[in-house]
Amino acid sequence: LDVKRLYNAYAKLTPRYKVSVSQARHICDKEEVLDAINSNLKSMESNSNDEHDDNDNGTIILDTRGSSYAKGHMPSAIHLPYAQLVDPNNSLILKPTSEIKQMLEDRGVDYLNPNKKIILSCGSGVSVCHGY
* The pLDDT of residue 55 is above 50: no
Helices of type H across 1-132 = 3-11, 30-46, 97-106, 128-131
Catalytic one of 76, 122, 127, 130: 122
> 129 an active-site residue?
no
Handedness of CA 7, 30, 40, 114 (dihedral sign): negative
Q: How large is the average pLDDT for residues 84-103?
A: 91
Local confidence band at 80 (pLDDT 50, 70, 90 cut-offs): very high
Q: How large is the average pLDDT for residues 108-114?
A: 87
How confident is the model at residue 112, as a pLDDT?
87
* The pLDDT of residue 12 is above 70: no
* The pLDDT of residue 119 is above 70: yes
Q: Pairing mode, if any, of strands 117-121 and 90-94?
A: unpaired
| DSSP bridge pairs for 119 | 61
